[in-house]
Amino acid sequence: MANEQADKYGGVHGRSGIAGAEAWPAAIREALANHEIVAITSGLSDLREAEALLQAERPERWVRLEWGMGSAYNREQFHALQQATGAAVLPFFISREGVIGGLPELREYLGHGGSHAAAPAARSDASAPAVTVLGYGGLIPFAFFGVAAWMARPEWQAFALEALALYGAVILSFLGAIHWGIYLVDRQHRVGPLQAPVWAVVPSILAWLALLQPLQESLMTLAVLFLGVLWVDRASLRQRALPPGYLGLRLVLTAGAMLALASGLAVTLLA
């Protein structure tokens, strides 16, 4: 059996001349002994479109390796994969001929072997249920305090406006922390010219500074910050392996947060 696997590796790697294949994690090399394509994913990776394509073009000839990033061993495996192949996102695909890449490269790769247009693609605008539910749930305090500021008695109005501003600052800090999470999986992650951990603390610091301003200016600054953070995230996360529809959901949620802050701002202007 060992000789047979060695022959397969030699036949695959030797004839195609894949440089550095010996540095791939052993789990990948073992999987390629019995399958033409290996899909490496995390527990959060959306593999629906890739699975449909692979089942249509390479049925029973591919395998999925799921590396949950809660495991230190799996993180080491992914780091080794990054060093050997330059992998930046999950899912990531490797064939016996060499590195394929992400989902766009997989589409192109499979397109040479047959039409992948007939494979049913996953809806890219359909967000993961948990992300959607929790995301819209996060708008509830914005909506509540944004409306309460108009209806409350004067002594409660100030409380509603301050609560609205404080909640906005908390959410901005949370949005910055997204990049901390990505950096823990991919140490190459950057936000423009900045390393991810540097940018990750920027929204929370700016939000804190906004709270030091008078209430009217605070609400205005927070609304602008939400728009700025969305713009940065759309630019820096577009090529990442995110839950499907995430950036579209962020657009809706940001609009909701800004609308609530604008409502609070209007109350202060009319007071």
99 in Cβ contact with 84 (< 8 Å) = no
pLDDT of residue 37 exceeding 90: yes
pLDDT value of residue 162: 94
| Residue 121 pLDDT level (bands cut at 50, 70, 90) | very low
pLDDT value of residue 128: 62
pLDDT single digits (tens) 171-230: 999 999 988 888 887 777 888 888 888 999 999 999 999 999 999 999 999 999 999 999
Burial of 200 from C-beta contacts in 10 A (0-12 / 13-18 / 19+): buried
Regarding beta strands 98-101 and 92-95, do their DSSP bridges make them parallel or antiparallel, or are they unpaired? antiparallel
pLDDT value of residue 208: 97
Rounded Cα distance, 61 and 36, in Å: 5
Rounded Cα distance, 38 and 25, in Å: 12
| Cα atoms found within 13 Å of the Cα of residue 39, Cβ hemisphere only | 25
Q: Which residues contact 173 (CB under 8 A, 6 or more apart)?
A: 203, 204, 207
pLDDT of residue 122 exceeding 70: no
| Average model confidence (pLDDT) across the chain | 81
In CATH, the architecture of 2-111 is 3-Layer(aba) Sandwich (3.40)
Higher pLDDT: 47 or 244? It is 47
38 in Cβ contact with 94 (< 8 Å) = yes
Strand, helix or coil at 192? coil
Percent of the chain as helix, strand, coil, to the nearest 5: 65, 10, 25
pLDDT value of residue 219: 95
| Residue 118 pLDDT level (bands cut at 50, 70, 90) | very low
Higher pLDDT: 106 or 128? It is 106
pLDDT of residue 98 exceeding 70: yes
Please, where in the chain does CATH 3.40.30.10 lie? Answer: 2-111
Task: Measure CA of the first residue to CA of the last residue in the chain; give whole Å.
Answer: 81
From 21-30, 34-43, 168-177, 240-249, the region with the lowest mean pLDDT? 240-249
pLDDT single digits (tens) 140-170: 999 999 998 898 777 788 899 999 999 999 9
